[in-house]
Amino acid sequence: MIEIKNIHKSYHMGSNSLHVLKGINFNVKEGELVSIMGSSGSGKSTLLNILGMLDEADSGEYVLDGFPIQNLNEKIAAKYRNEFLGFIFQSFNLINYKSALDNVALPLYYQGIKRKERIDKARHYLEKVGLGPWSNHLPSELSGGQKQRVAIARALASDPKVLLADEPTGALDTATSYEVMELIQGINDEGKTILVVTHEHDIANMTKRIVNLKDGVIIDDSLVEQVRASQYV
Amino acid sequence: MFDIERWQEIFETLRKNKLRTFLTGLSVASGIFILVILLGFSKGIENGVTSQFQRDATNMITVWTNRTTKEYKGLNPGRYVQLKNGDFDMVSTKYKDYLEYESSLHGMWGVTMTYGNQTGSYRIRGVMPDHQFIENADILKGRFLNQADLDEAKKVAVIGNKMKRDLFKDEDAIDKNILMYGMNFKVIGVFSDPGGDREEDQAYIPISTSQKVFNIGDNIRNMLFTVEMSDNFSDAVTLSQNISTEIESQIKQMHTVAPDDTGAVRVYNTLEEAKKIYKLIDTIKAVFWFVGIGTIIAGIVGVGNIMLIIVKERTKEIGIRKALGALPWSIIGMIIQEAVFVTMFSGLFGLISGLALLEAVGPQVESDFIKYPQVDFNIAITTVFILVFAGALAGFIPAYRAAKIKPIEALRDE
């Protein structure tokens, strides 16, 4: 599903140059649930942003489901993001003046789907994450865990090939974190490919494979025995 | 532009951000509103001043005389210069090509006039048929004096509207006789004058009749002329000044008056005054335009400022939308469409309420110097479009920049 070869990325700040990714190679097959671990500054978020086409690599190859991702113009990048990827952020990134339902429906708006169909689909995904009764609430009226569930429903709404989650539990307490991970595991069980960036070991252990990043290179990439989150909930 | 889904999205955004929408709208609406009121009153003042001035023809030359103040060619000062019919005929013939209307005048004040058992004291003026146009008088009923009245020195009178109301009440005045100095004068017309009651409190009779009735021979008191107006205002002023000067020296020469005796023969040229008034009106207009344009600039800056803040505030939202697959142009388009809609709607609202206020208050204004405040609709609508355009432009620049930044940076923006 995802193939990346020798990805390099540097940030330039004034005269200083920071080499963040120093040749990353890894592949993700369909249906995998992968966590990317590393201390802050290891380049894990940068890698995720490149995978998410939110940022561009300086060099290297990236192929997503057979589509080479390189030299994208804004238009194509937007189309790919919309069709191939679903994002889950640490800070949720919901639009604060839109109801939960409208937030979930937004990616469908950019797919050009008619309003009625959008709302139906959005309601379906909102129910899937267990927030059916909250569909008309604004994000400010929801708890952190609920907000993240809305974000997950939004990421699922466009039926993407890959879900990218950047510290999805970073802003949540442990109990809520496990609830969110249970949801993510459930989605993975249905066959969706998911990448999770985290620095928490318990969260990483709930995935099927852990990729360890340090100073811009992969130091360890191993399959793990998945811990089911449901046993903590 | 006609994408219904886009409009739904925009209306939803506007509805969910009521305060922001309201403030943007308010700044635009009040800017246009103030401009409409300003331009309306500027026009009102122009109308008022112009109508004050239109009591008499604007291109009038008046000649009148007094006692000499200087010794000249052996004649003593203090001698009264008496204008005669001959003087009038001379000027009339000599400047025939340049003069439009002409009338000599002889007036009496405080003449007792009676109709039935109503009596009053009025001014009576012997004039020529052209006098109607020199005074800008309107005939309400009947007719003004004509050449036949003048030639035959008929005992006929054209009376002012106020005088008609006083003497005749509701009765028809035409063909009725009024009594003055024991003689019957037949009323042939009723006139109104832009000068109002003061000018309508009098009667006009033929000057020939006046000279006979008052037994003054061929004496006259004033001579009144209007100059042919040329299309070019300053040409007209020059012509009128030249003729005034010539008439003055001509009459002084004929009556043996010192050329520098300013008191004995006076020629008053209203066009020169008109020029001053028009200059004043131009100045007033310029001031109002200056204030108006200042208001519009303030409005543009206000709209621009609000658009900048809106886009800044929405940077993160733009990042989210981009991450979810929004095209850069769809974001720019959405923000501009929203800005144009809000400025257009509130601009028209300000325009309509301004016009409505002028329409409601305008007729109530009871001042001689402000009349019929009104506004040129084209100017008003143009300003609305300028504001809309400015709002769109002010929204475009930051929206374009926001749409250009990478979604990851926009998302990081807190």
Structure ipTM: 0.88
In this structure, are B123 and B255 located in the same domain?
A: yes
- The reported pLDDT for the residue numbered B154 is 92
Residue of chain B whose alpha carbon sits nearest to that of A45:
B408
Candidates A78, A98, A112; nearest CB to B322? A78
Q: How big is the A-B interface in CB pairs under 8 Å?
A: 64
pLDDT at B194 over 60: yes
- Choosing from B252, B271, B290, the residue where a domain stops is B271
Confidence of residue A65 (pLDDT cuts 50, 70, 90): confident
* Contact at CB, A97 and B13, closer than 8 angstroms: yes
B135 pLDDT above the threshold of 60: yes
pLDDT tens digits, residue range B220-273?
A: 999 999 887 776 777 778 888 888 888 888 888 888 888 888 888 888 888 777
Q: Residues B45, B74: one domain?
A: no
Is A54 or B207 the better-scoring residue by pLDDT? B207
Structural domain range at position B323:
4-52+277-412
What distance in Å separates residue B348's CA from the closest CA in chain A? 28
- In the predicted structure, residue B286 carries a pLDDT above the cut 90: no
3 state SS of B208: helix
Question: Is residue B137 over pLDDT 60?
Answer: yes
Residues B112 and B249 in one domain: yes
pLDDT over 90 percentage in chain A: 44
Amino acid symbol at B92: S
Q: What is the mean pLDDT of chain B?
A: 84
Q: Across the interface, do B16 and A98 touch by the CB < 8 Å criterion? A: yes
- Determine, for residues B327 and A74 on separate chains, whether the beta-carbon distance falls below 8 Å: yes
A111–B324 C-beta distance less than 8 A: no
Q: Across all residues in chain A, what is the average pLDDT?
A: 89
- Domain boundary pick from B232, B253, B271: B271
3-state SS of chain A: helix, strand, coil percent to 5? 35, 30, 35
Query: Within this chain, do residues B128 and B75 fall inside the same structural domain, yes or no?
Result: yes
Q: Domain tally for chain B?
A: 2
Asked if A97 lies within 8 A of B8 by C-beta distance, the reply is no
Same domain (yes/no): B214, B67: yes
- Do A93 and B13 make contact, defined as CB atoms within 8 angstroms? no
Give B104-114 pLDDT, tens digit per residue: 999 888 888 99
- Chain B residue at shortest CA distance from A154: B324
pLDDT exceeds 80 at position B165: yes
Alpha-carbon gap, residue B39 to B70, rounded angstroms: 52
- Tell which CATH architecture fits domain A2-231: 3-Layer(aba) Sandwich (3.40)
Q: Element (H or E) spanning B120, and its range?
A: strand B118-127
pLDDT of residue B19: 83
Tell me the pLDDT band of B413, cut-offs 50, 70 and 90: low
Choose among A74, A47, A65: nearest CA to A196: A47
Q: Are residues B119 and B34 in the same domain?
A: no
Q: How far is A179 from chain B (nearest CA, A)?
A: 24
Residues B293 and B364 in one domain: yes
- B8, A98: Cβ pair inside 8 Å? no
Average pLDDT over every residue of A211-233: 88
B137 in the same domain as B19: no
Mean pLDDT of A145-155: 92
User: Cβ contact (<8 Å) for A109 and B16?
Assistant: no
Per-residue pLDDT band at B155 (split at 50, 70, 90): very high
Q: Do the chains contact at A55 and B330, CB–CB below 8 Å?
A: no
CB atoms within 10 A of CB A167: 20
| Contacts with A112 from chain B: Cβ below 8 Å | 5
pLDDT at B133 over 80: yes
Residue range A48-64: mean pLDDT, rounded: 87
A104: nearest CA in chain B?
Answer: B324
Do A51 and A193 contact (CB within 8 A), yes or no? no
pLDDT digits (tens, 9 = 90+) for B15-69: 877 887 888 888 888 888 888 888 888 888 877 777 766 666 678 888 989 898 8
Distance CA A74, CA B329 (A): 10
Determine phi and psi for B197, rounding to 5 degrees: -50, -40
Interface test with A, best of B324, B404, B411 (most A CBs within 10 A): B324
Confidence of residue B366 (pLDDT cuts 50, 70, 90): low
For helices B328-361 and B315-323, give the axis angle rounded to 10 degrees. Answer: 140
* Res B55: pLDDT: 63
Lowest mean pLDDT among A151-165, A185-199, B141-155, B184-198: B184-198
Of B231, B252, B271, the position where a domain reaches its end is: B271
- Please give, rounded to a whole number of angstroms, the shortest distance from the CA of A127 to a CA of chain B: 21
Same domain, B225 and B313: no
Which pLDDT score, from 0 to 100, does residue B53 have? 66
Per-residue confidence at B368, pLDDT binned at 50, 70, 90? low
- Decide if B320 and A93 are in contact by the 8 Å CB cutoff: yes
Do B166 and B249 fall within a single domain? yes
> What number is the average pLDDT over the span B126-144?
90
Residues of A contacting chain B (CB within 8 angstroms): 49, 52, 54-55, 74-75, 78-79, 81-83, 87, 89, 93-95, 97-98, 102, 106-107, 109-112, 114-115, 154, 158
From the list A75, A83, A114, the residue facing B327 with the nearest CB is: A75
Nearest chain A residue (CA) to B8: A115
**Same domain flag for B182 and B319:** no
| Closest by CA position to A218, among listed A24, A28, A51, A6 | A24
Tell me, yes or no, whether B294 and B362 share the same domain: yes
In sequence order, the β-bridge partners of residue A221 are: A211
CB contact (8 A) between residue B320 and residue A95? yes
